[in-house]
Chain A
Amino acid sequence: MSEDSGYNFAYLDEQTKRMIRRALLKAVAVPGYQVPFASREMPLPYGWGTGGIQVTAAVLGPDDTLKVIDQGADDTTNAVSIRRFFAKTAGVATTTRTEEASVIQTRHRIPETPLSEKQILVYQVPIPEPLRWLEPREAETRALHALGDYGVMQVELYEDIAIHGKIKRAYDYPVEVAGRYLTSPSPIPKFDNPKLSDCPALQLFGAGREKRIYAIPPYTPVRSLDFEDHPFAVDHPGHPCAICGDTESFLDEIVTDDAGGRIFVCSDTDHCRARQEGLAHDDAA
């Protein structure tokens, strides 16, 4: 019990947490399958991470250290808001350092720092159904999943190639988890897709408004959909980070004036900080 707030530890009551944990266990047992769960109304708006918050609340213990990122950054307003929510309702330690966190809640990015077996990555998911833009009806898409019938998606990707010469999906790029379920990786850039596969950390996905939970257990193979003659590849803008000089990380574009001036900086603020400190250390040495 968190005494300051008057609410149960991590806000949700224990029955609700148990219900969510059951859904999580099922999700881990059937990787990539969307498990319906009785999503609660949270004191934050739908679409702002209520699914991720409920999953985090269900897995968080008093000894955990929580990191929350949005767009890769710890200091974006919604990340700040969610981190404060748990600092207040669970009293857990928080950090911005990826390697120190035992639970990381994220929106739209996977940290650049490789994750470990001791970590859980919780994704906020707006639309869990990868087929939603091709088939709006839930009754239909559930049948397609049950049958493993993903032809519509293959055709969609094929048409992109036929018309544009490449697959026109820059984020929320569909993946196949453990050779079975077509799954949405949430709107992470496809740059991050390779990190989904064979990841030592447990990856949990929560969609509050859509009332779905799914999971990618540790060391699960995850394949980004592609074709033999058009293999999956990630794009990089080809610039280094203007602050830390990294040429490998995902970069945000910052418009610096109204005359076309722009610079590129790491989207992962903790990764950038660590590199800057490393550089400063090297300079001092």
Chain B
Amino acid sequence: MEIQTETILRTENLKAFYVLDMHGTQKIVKAVNEVDLAIKENEIYGIAGESGCGKTTLLKALFNVIEPPLRLIGGKIYYRVNWEEVEVTSLSPEEKRRLRLEYISYIPQGSMSVLNPVLKIKESYQDFIASHVPEQSRKETMELAQKQIVELGLPKNILNAYPHQLSGGMRQRVTIALSALLSPRIMIGDEPTTALDVVVQRGVIQMLKEIQRKLQNTIILVTHDMGVHANVAHRIGIMYAGKIVEEGTTIQIFDNPLHPYTQFLINSLPKFGDKMMRESVPGSPPSLADLPRGCPFHPRCPYTKDICRESMPGFSYPDEKHRVACWLIGEGEHGKAS
């Protein structure tokens, strides 16, 4: 995994805010705030954080679906398409549509509401193929779909079933199979295993890994379950209040978490064979519409210093591939005040 690979998706100072007009007063929800990411080819990149930290909005932005009330305030998103970097936010709607599913696909959270309940799975597949595949090769694609379903260990007759006949785990696996059908280079999963039982979750993760191994593509996986990240991700970004506060390889994040928030996330997990008292992160996440001054974590942080209340730290690089935005670790290479 350590071989040099190309960056496939890159953001530069990405800012996406929800701008809400409420009775004449504007409310701005800073859901994605100055995010710089560089995601490589052939890697599983995990994004972790609590609910309401902007994870899902970040995924929407990465998937290039920025629709009101969500607005792109600043920054750029680049995909690497056929060896060339393309700035995707300025593409026409038709070009954006074409990139979707063929180049980048999305695995939604609630598989219940994804598949049309009155259509057989087969018809959902046909719909999907009809809108993305030229007419002459549609039949082949359908055959490919059948082959893929068997390869992924799903029952053959599943195409003739209605969504309600399948269990939650089975539906989620069908959704994943569908999103992988056209061999996209990037797959984005928004909490794909959250509502599932542990054994089923393991099966779904197994399938995601299998697809990634076969297609050698990139998977961006969002979940708040650090256990899942430890099992699948190659690199992890920790998100807090719309910002990436720490990023590193999975080993670096688990062995040497530097940001106090990351430390809380990892140490609050119960472990077998250890009944020691474990504490949650104190307090609750800040409202993205009314962020505290300085580092957004300072009201919950046990090590707050004066400077934390004043300004947001820039990134420090304690190790190769490991970056963290915290005043305890360093001033940051470009300590920007905000």
Do A and B associate with each other? no
